[in-house]
Amino acid sequence: MACAVSGGADSSALLVLACAAGCDATAHHVDHGIRPDTEREPTMVAALADRFGAGFVAHTAQVGPGPNLEARARQARFALLPEDIVTGHTLDDRAETMLLNLVRGAARKGLSPLRSSQRHPLVRLRRADTVELCERLEIDVVNDPSNDDPSFRRNRVRHELLPLLNDISQRDVVALLDRQADIFADEDSLLDALAAEIDPTDAKAVAEAPRPLARRALRNFICQEWDLGHPPGVAAVERALQVASGTATACDLEGGHRIHRTHQKLRVLPP
C-alpha cells in the first residue's frame, strides 16, 4: 500500500494503521521546496516508517511562490506519487472540502468529496482521533505553520467558518455535512446514469432532454474532450446548451476550447 505521508498527524496515523492492519505499506514523502525549514521532515517520516516496518520513498517537487499555491502544490505532489496512493484525509477534511467547493459554486460532485474509502481510508475518522493516536504512540509529528496561515482559504474555513457554524447550530456540523455529502453522492450517481443515456454529440437530443440532465451530459462530454483537469464552469455549460438548442452555432468554453454545431452534431474544438 502506497501511503502519502507528510509527517503530520493524519498521514502518520494512516501509515501506522496500515502497518497495524498487516498491509505492505510504503511511505511516500514529497518535499515541495516551499518552506526553507523542511530538511527534517523526510528524516522524520523515514524514521516513522522504519519504526513500524514500512518502506520509504522521498520525492522532491519545485513549486514557486505565486497565486493558487495550495492547488499548484497538490498538482505537483500527485504528479510524482503513485496512481494508487492512499491519503490520510479525515472526516474533518471532507467537511472543509465540501464547504470550499460550495463557495466556489460546485455542483453535486463537488459537494460529495472524498468518496472513495479505498483512496481515503481514514475518511470516517476525525482529526482528533489521529492526533490522539500519535500522542499515545509518542510519534513526533510535523507541525506545518502554513496550516494556520489565514491567506489560505481552507484555513479560514477550518479555524473560522466551521467553529462559527457549530456555534450557530449548537451542534457538530462536520457530522451533518458528512451525511449530506453521502446524499449528494447517491443523487450524483443517479443523475450520471440518467445523463449517460443522452448522446451529447446529438444537438437535438441534448436540447430536448430535461435541462439538469442536458447540462450534466454536456459537462461530462466536455470533460472527456479536454485536458484542463477540471470541469467546465456553469457559464460555459450554459453557452454550450445554447449551441445545442440552435440559439448559436458555436461558443467559447475555456482555455481556448470551443463547442461547435454542424448538421446537428456537437464537437469540442481544441485551441
31-66 pLDDT, tens digit per residue, is 876 666 677 899 999 999 999 999 999 998 877 666
The alpha-carbon radius of gyration of the chain (Å, integer) is 22
61-99 pLDDT, tens digit per residue, is 877 666 676 777 777 888 889 999 999 999 999 999 999
Angle between helices 127-136 and 9-20 (to 10 degrees): 70
C-alpha span between 269 and 256 (Å, rounded):
9
Domain residue limits, the chain: 2-90+111-146, 196-269
Comparison of pLDDT for 211 and 34, the residue scoring more: 211
CATH 3.40.50.2300 is right for the domain spanning 2-90+111-146: no
CA distances from 15 to 28, 29, 76, 123, 143 (A): 10, 12, 22, 14, 17
2-29 pLDDT, tens digit per residue, is 999 999 999 999 999 999 999 999 999 9
C-alpha span between 18 and 14 (Å, rounded):
6
CA distances from 70 to 24, 34, 74, 103, 149 (A): 30, 10, 6, 17, 12
Nearest by Cα to 217 from 252, 241, 236, 239: 241
**Top-level CATH class of 196-269?**
alpha beta
| Residue owning grid cell 505532489 | 77
